[in-house]
Amino acid sequence: MSLSDRVPRTRNAVQALLASHGIQPRKIRGQNFLIDGQLIDAIVRDAGVESRHAVLEIGTGTGILTAALAERAGAVVTCDIDEQLQGITRGLGDWPEHVRFVGGDILQGKHALNPEITEMWRAAGLVPKVVSNLPYSVATPVLANLIWSDLPFEDATVLVQREAAERFVAPVGTSEYGPMAIAIGLLAEAQVVRAVPPQVFWPQPRVQSSVLRITPRNRDRVPEYRAMGLPELLQKAFLHRRKVLRRMIAPELIEAAGLPPEVRPEGVAPEQWVALCVGSANHGGG
């Protein structure tokens, strides 16, 4: 029996598995389980998973994606905050040795990834790659911390809420443009690979989803940007995105960056944010 045959791949099978253990999906943990085998195969193809890869899966769930990754990747590290559910999935059969199950939260607070999990991922000694059905509630902080980290991952192919995906690829001047689009503009490339309807999940979410692929670049600039406080400046600025920027940054710095006096945060391109951050540091914080 193949790995894919051991895990539930339909709504009825997932419902039966959870019912047999007396548990229900927990909305607070974003538990919307994938029940479409064709989509799983498509995601793994989109991600380009090969035997040279060590894949980090965030959210083991009922194992449908874990099994597909295990059949193609050289190593899989799969983590889940719901250790009871992960234990059930782990008990579905004899998983191969190159699959490591880790219980725990991928986030260590708001501004870091869990080092125990990421070090296990690194220790596999293969090319790091992320492939996940990310819980909606943590998708943005997980990806933000991944992009701003020093982890040398090849790329990340993740299933997220459509609105979240749009924030990653938003152009300057739009309502969706913000810290994530700026981080992508400076440190990565992002592409919405495919649209995903609610029907491929159980329970069905009330929103549409997207497969998003993020490919890092300029990784050598991450320490520099972090040292100058760029992530913090972006978060502060976009807390009040409708206010003109001169209320928090000196007008002469805005002018020096080639921006109009009444510019708002969404009107500042990624490289202009770097110039403003440098200027603010030299200016004593503006």
Q: What is the CATH number of the domain that holds 243?
A: 1.10.8.100
Residue 125 φ/ψ region, left for φ over 0, alpha for ψ in the -120 to 50 degree band, beta for the rest: left
Confidence of residue 192 (pLDDT cuts 50, 70, 90): very high
Give the helix, strand, coil percentages of the chain, each rounded to 5: 45, 20, 35
The span from the CA of 120 to the CA of 204, in Å, is 32
pLDDT at position 249 over 50: yes
Domain match, 139 and 201 both: yes
Confidence of residue 137 (pLDDT cuts 50, 70, 90): confident
Confidence of residue 188 (pLDDT cuts 50, 70, 90): very high
Residue after which a domain boundary falls, among 220, 250, 269: 220
Positive or negative CA dihedral for 81, 87, 89, 90? positive
Domain match, 243 and 205 both: no
The span from the CA of 283 to the CA of 277, in Å, is 10
Is cis: bond before 128, omega within 30 of 0?
Answer: no
Domain match, 195 and 278 both: no
The arithmetic mean of pLDDT across residues 164-178, rounded, is 97
Beta bridge partners of 184: none
Average pLDDT over all residues of the chain = 93
Domain match, 122 and 148 both: yes
Number of domains present in the structure of the chain: 2
Domain match, 60 and 115 both: yes
Domain match, 174 and 260 both: no
pLDDT at res. 240: 85
Domain match, 272 and 160 both: no
Identify the CATH number of the domain in which residue 135 sits: 3.40.50.150
The span from the CA of 27 to the CA of 203, in Å, is 9
Domain match, 127 and 241 both: no
Domain match, 263 and 154 both: no
Domain match, 213 and 259 both: no
Amino acid at 73: A
The arithmetic mean of pLDDT across residues 76-83, rounded, is 96
Domain match, 10 and 84 both: yes
The span from the CA of 140 to the CA of 146, in Å, is 10
Q: Which DSSP helix (H) or strand (E) runs through 57? A: strand 53-58
pLDDT at position 285 over 60: no
Taking the whole predicted model, whether its pTM rises above 0.85 is answered as yes
Domain match, 66 and 136 both: yes
Per the model's pLDDT, the better-predicted residue between 78 and 26 turns out to be 78
pLDDT tens figures, 145-166: 999 998 999 999 999 999 999 9
Residue after which a domain boundary falls, among 220, 247, 272: 220
Residue after which a domain boundary falls, among 175, 193, 220: 220
| The token pair that represents 266 in the structure block | 């969404």
Q: Name which of 64-68, 245-249, 269-273 the model is least confident about.
A: 245-249
- List the domain range (segments joined by +) for residue 24: 3-220
Alpha helix stretches (DSSP H) within 109-259: 115-123, 139-147, 162-169, 179-187, 222-227, 230-238, 251-256
